Amino acid sequence: MRFGRYSLLIAVLLTSLLLLTVQTRGVGPTRAGDLVALALTPVQNLLTKVHRGALSVWTAYADWKAVRAENLSLHAENERLRIEALQARETDQENRRLRRLATLRERLPLTTLGGEIIGREGGGWARSLTVNRGRADGVAQQMPVIVPDGLVGRVVQVRAGASVVQLLTDPTSTVGAVVQRTRTAGLVEGEPGGGLRFKFMARDGAGVAAGDLIVTSGLGTLFPKGIPVGRVTAIEDKGSALFHFAVLVPAVDFARVEEVLLLTGQASHDVASLFTPDG
């Protein structure tokens, strides 16, 4: 058995040496070398082909891995940049809103209190916003609430740290108003559908047209004069009725209100000029 082992080793070594010898010796070796080449060239060719194939597969795999890793990294970067862009846009919009609010606050000839919206009620029965200012901040019932676009509503409930603001569109809300151009007086009421209408407009108050701006009349002691309420979109003429009314689109987009000013003081003169469309 042991002899068999060593004879295998010796045979293998001798074969190797023979191969080496026939390659390097010059005597009759060309033929021997040719024989070696003849036997090994097909194997070499095959190996080269397989090697090239394997190499190309390996390279393709490596490339694919690199591309995949790059793709994942680009995806992550894209996602991060998108979030950053959204955050920047959000901050930009907030800055713009706050700047408009601050400008209005500076111009207004009455004391105000800034607040943030922390809750919304949008059902048909009641339409309100909750502001993060309450009794502790000096908020009182019936306080008018505005934004740079116009009137939002009035405070109807005051709690310790928050207040509920009834929106103009609430069905129980009424505000004394006038048509800015014709000074036609009336009442702005909320509708269950979420719209506004300008009521009790006497028939002889004609001349009101679509596009007219309705502002607070300032006749009561509640709202200062001249705060934009809405704009006329249509006149509903009931024919024989004594009064007819105008359909309004609110000056304020209540769904987008995020910061408000609560008017803690009163002003006797018209503030309409302070409410420009760009704040």
Partner 1 sequence: MRLSLLLMTFGGTLAQSSVVPSLAVVGVTPDLPLILTALLALRRGPEAACLVGFALGLLQDAAGGGLIGVQAATLALTGFAMGLLPGRIWVDHPLVQVPGLVLLTVAEGLLRFGLLQLFHFPAALGDLLMHVILPQALYNGFLASAFLLAVEAAHALRRWQPWI
* Beta carbons within 10 angstroms of residue 148's beta carbon: 25
Select 20 or 241, whichever has its Cβ closest to partner 1.
Answer: 20
Contact (CB, 8 A) for 168 and 175 = yes
Q: Rounded to the nearest whole angstrom, what is the least distance from the CB of residue 83 to partner 1 in the complex?
A: 37
Q: Rounded to the nearest whole angstrom, what is the least distance from the CB of residue 41 to partner 1 in the complex?
A: 9
Q: Rounded to the nearest whole angstrom, what is the least distance from the CB of residue 70 to partner 1 in the complex?
A: 18
Select 61 or 243, whichever has its Cβ closest to partner 1.
Answer: 61
**The residue type at 235:** I
**Positions that interact with partner 1 (CB under 8 A):** 5, 8-9, 12-13, 15-20, 23-24, 36, 40, 43-44, 47-48, 50-51, 54-55, 58, 62
Select 23 or 91, whichever has its Cβ closest to partner 1.
Answer: 23
Q: Rounded to the nearest whole angstrom, what is the least distance from the CB of residue 72 to partner 1 in the complex?
A: 22
Select 40 or 210, whichever has its Cβ closest to partner 1.
Answer: 40
DSSP result, 16-72: HHHHHHHHH--SSHHHHHHHHHHHHHHHHHHHHHHHHHHHHHHHHHHHHHHHHHHHH
Contact (CB, 8 A) for 251 and 151 = yes
Contact (CB, 8 A) for 215 and 226 = yes
